[in-house]
Amino acid sequence: MSVIMPAVAAAKATPRQELTGDNLGMDVAGLTQGFLRHLEYTLAELQRHVDSEWEPYVALALTVRDRLIQRWVRTQDAYYDQDPKRIYYLSLEYLMGRTLGNSLVAMSLRDTCAQAMAELGYRLEDLREAEWDAGLGNGGLGRLAACFVDSLATLGYPCYGYGLRYDYGIFHQRIVDGVQVEVPDSWLRYGNPWEIARSGDRFRVQFFGRVHRFTNERGRLTHDWIDTKDVLATPFDTPIPGYGMHTVNTLRLWGARAVQEFNLEEFNEGDYVGAIEARARSENICRVLYPNDNVFVGRELRLAQEYFFVSATLQDIIRRYKKRYEMHDRPLGLRTFDRFADKVAVTPSTGWRSCTRTFSRPASFQSSTSSGRESSATRPTASPSGDGSSSAIPSSPRRSRARWGRIGSPISIGWRLSCPTRGTPPLASGGARPSATGRSSWPR
């Protein structure tokens, strides 16, 4: 492979046009105006007649999100302009906590926001309590994943977190007559003001089907995957701010949607349940965090979750890589994937390891509640080159270090000072029996 000279100019994208509201106020007056604007025009609420904490909380969340998006846009522009190697962090769970408080602390706005809310007659702590905890993770490993994406943003690394957007968490605990009762954790019941739906970036994930072998018109043996049961992966983005920095990275969560959500023919024939059956079974993929794998269908659903997650994520990574290829590599005459390993660092996903454990257990094994609860972590090691970069080493010492390559160093986002040198920073690269029928119940 020929050496790529850094002096060769890359193709430049069309510069972003500055908008009038690009410099949103970070003071009390700016936060107050943003809050009132969202309360009245986004939520259509009258300030004097709001009778719950939810609407003011959403208005404040959208006000803070506006300022996050302002930094997020500039961060992404810097990534495309400077073309660094990007880290993709895959985890089946994230214990993110409450986003409002975390964002205010990261942007040093907590005291300013508290003062702005006090002038409007609200207590910041009351509004923070109105937020539901995101039902995306449980336990220490989910929190570890959240800490990794926070830390990578703080250190200025171009990182993208990937996960699943579960409709329900593990459970919501209630005490009834002195006894714990577990009910679904419907954390999305009232919506999530922090996420941004990207319906235009959906990907089709194929399940089941068969391989059709044939000889094409050029006489070459060709294989097609046909008669598949497809599910649409819809991304939802949440901005992840770095503490004390202008860097804002992305956590992208996948939601499952049916290709055909409603069968009008079956509905007209009186089969009202069958008309929406395909939708229900497709969306079951992201219905619950860690479905019970004591039964065969539960283990199959967990495998479907892992495959759906990895397939959608890899399609998105390749889409983003091709976008930067058109900007930087095509003008140099390079082939599409010549620099894929130089520009993409995918963390070793635990999905495959967990599903192989799931499907290799003896029949007498009783699944514990902690099975499969892992995030994709790697052990950082300083680069022997001494250039400040680090190598992404998988957790297992049996894997080859050379297989995973190096991540690289934090980049300087042009409109702010670089992160001061702190030495080598810690990095993350980002027995049940079948059912009585013996057949799968998903997603026929």
Judge whether residue 259 has pLDDT over 90.
no
Count of alpha carbons within 13 Å of 349, Cβ hemisphere only? Answer: 21
- pLDDT grade, residue 17 (50/70/90)? low
**Least confidently predicted of 47-56, 250-259, 316-325:** 47-56
**How far is the C-alpha of 358 from the C-alpha of 123, rounded, in Å?**
48
What is the b/e burial string over 68-89, where b = at least 16 CB atoms within 10 angstroms of the residue's CB?
Answer: bebbbebbebbbbbebbbbbbb
What pLDDT was estimated at residue 221?
Answer: 93
Q: Which of 99, 93, 90 is nearest to 141 (CA)?
A: 93
What pLDDT was estimated at residue 366?
Answer: 36
CATH T-level topology, domain 85-97+133-403:
Rossmann fold (3.40.50)
Q: What percent of the chain has pLDDT over 70?
A: 73
Whether the CB-CB separation of 152 and 159 falls below 8 Å is answered with yes
Strands 159-164 and 86-90: parallel
Q: Which of 92, 249, 102, 232 is nearest to 162 (CA)?
A: 92
Read off the pLDDT of each residue in 154-160 and give the average, rounded to a whole number: 94
**How far is the C-alpha of 238 from the C-alpha of 315, rounded, in Å?**
19
CA distances from 380 to 365, 375, 430 (A): 34, 15, 10
The tokens describing 438, both together, are 């013996």
Q: How many helices (H) and strands (E) does the chain have?
A: 12, 13
Q: Which of 161, 158, 150 is nearest to 241 (CA)?
A: 150
**How far is the C-alpha of 301 from the C-alpha of 442, rounded, in Å?**
7
Q: Which of 398, 423, 395 is nearest to 409 (CA)?
A: 423
Whether the CB-CB separation of 164 and 305 falls below 8 Å is answered with yes
Model's pTM, two decimal places?
A: 0.74
- Distance, CA of 280 to chain centre: 23
The predicted-structure confidence for 217-232, as pLDDT tens digits, reads as follows: 999 999 999 998 999 9
DSSP 291-352: ---SSHHHHHHHHHHHHHHHHHHHHHHHHHHHHHHHHHTGGGT--TTTTHHHHEEE---SHH
Q: Which of 99, 94, 96, 169 is nearest to 127 (CA)?
A: 99
Helix 110-119 vs helix 28-37: angle between axes, to the nearest 10 degrees? Answer: 60
Domain extent listing, the chain:
22-82+113-130, 85-97+133-403
**Least confidently predicted of 22-26, 117-121, 234-238:** 22-26
What pLDDT was estimated at residue 172?
Answer: 78
Alpha helices in 224-295 (DSSP H): 264-268, 272-275, 277-283
Q: Which of 207, 168, 230 is nearest to 440 (CA)?
A: 207
Largest CA distance in the chain: 76
Bridge partners (DSSP) listed for residue 229:
207
Alpha helices in 344-427 (DSSP H): 351-358
The tokens describing 143, both together, are 């929190």
The predicted-structure confidence for 182-197, as pLDDT tens digits, reads as follows: 888 889 989 999 999 9
Residue 219 DSSP label: S
Greater pLDDT, 412 or 285? 285
Residue 272 DSSP label: H
**How far is the C-alpha of 273 from the C-alpha of 230, rounded, in Å?**
20
Which residues contact residue 108 at a Cβ distance below 8 angstroms, ignoring those fewer than 6 apart?
A: 244
Judge whether residue 9 has pLDDT over 90.
no
**Residue 83 backbone dihedrals phi, psi, to 5 degrees:** 55, 55
